[in-house]
Amino acid sequence: MTSNRGKLAEFRSALAPLGIEITHSEEECDEIQADSLREVVLSCLDQLKGKGMRDIVIDDSGLFVHALNGFPGVYSSYALRTIGMDGILRLLDGKQDRSAHFECCIGASIGGEEFTVSGRCDGTIALAPSGEEGFGFDPIFVPSGYYRTFAEISITEKNGISHRGRAIQAFAAELRGRIDEAPR
């Protein structure tokens, strides 16, 4: 799994009850230019399998702003690095529709079987950045039902409602189903 430490801990705590252990790998793949996270994740799985890796779990996330036709989406990390949160706020200046969603796609190749699951968190782009928690675009994203940004709520609270938290839950459920179905 190629990711940061916080993500790794989140995956671990969700998968430990299933008796599944997860480790971090430095192995990298080229992320392709595609319009959906799922395409990026599937291409990355292919590349890692091509390098001889087995039993792989990877994930990719993005912020999709509806009034910007889904921008920055799959290219969120590039947009953060270049135009930043300020850029997103400028692009939305004066627009009525500030709705957006975060999406996380997890792809796995386990025991020769490949599958993907997704998690989504709907919300609104704030008028200004606020908060110190989290990372990425968290300070400008207010999840539906909240008055605070992702960067203003605790990591535990965020994991319960976030796109990644939901994707990890879906992933654990999928794995549980596959373990139950497996011949003994």
Q: Which is nearer to a second copy, 74 or 167 (CB)?
A: 74
- Bond prior to 143 in cis (omega within 30° of 0): no
Compare residues 91 and 110 and give the one whose CB is closer to a second copy: 91
**CB-based contact 165:158 (threshold 8 Å):** yes
Nearer to a second copy (CB atom), residue 78 or residue 135: 78
Q: Which is nearer to a second copy, 72 or 165 (CB)?
A: 72
Residue 103 one-letter amino acid: E
**Range 38-97, binding a second copy (CB under 8 A):** 40, 43, 68-75, 78-79, 81-83, 87, 90-91, 93
Q: How far is the CB of 124 from a second copy (least distance, A)?
A: 18
CB 175 within 8 A of CB 168: no
CA atoms of 155 and 171, how far apart (whole Å): 19
Rg over alpha carbons for the chain, rounded to the nearest Å, is: 17
* Residue 122 designated active-site: no
Residues belonging to the chain: 184
Q: Which residue out of 30, 60, 93, 122 is catalytically annotated?
A: 60
Q: What is the dihedral of CA 105, 106, 108, 114, to 10 degrees?
A: -30
156 CB-contact burial (10 Å; exposed 0-12 / middle 13-18 / buried 19+) = exposed
Site string for a second copy, 12-31 (x = CB under 8 A): ------------------xx
32 binds a second copy (CB under 8 A): yes
Which residues contribute to the site for a second copy (CB under 8 A)? Answer: 30-35, 40, 43, 68-75, 78-79, 81-83, 87, 90-91, 93
Q: Which residues are catalytic?
A: 60
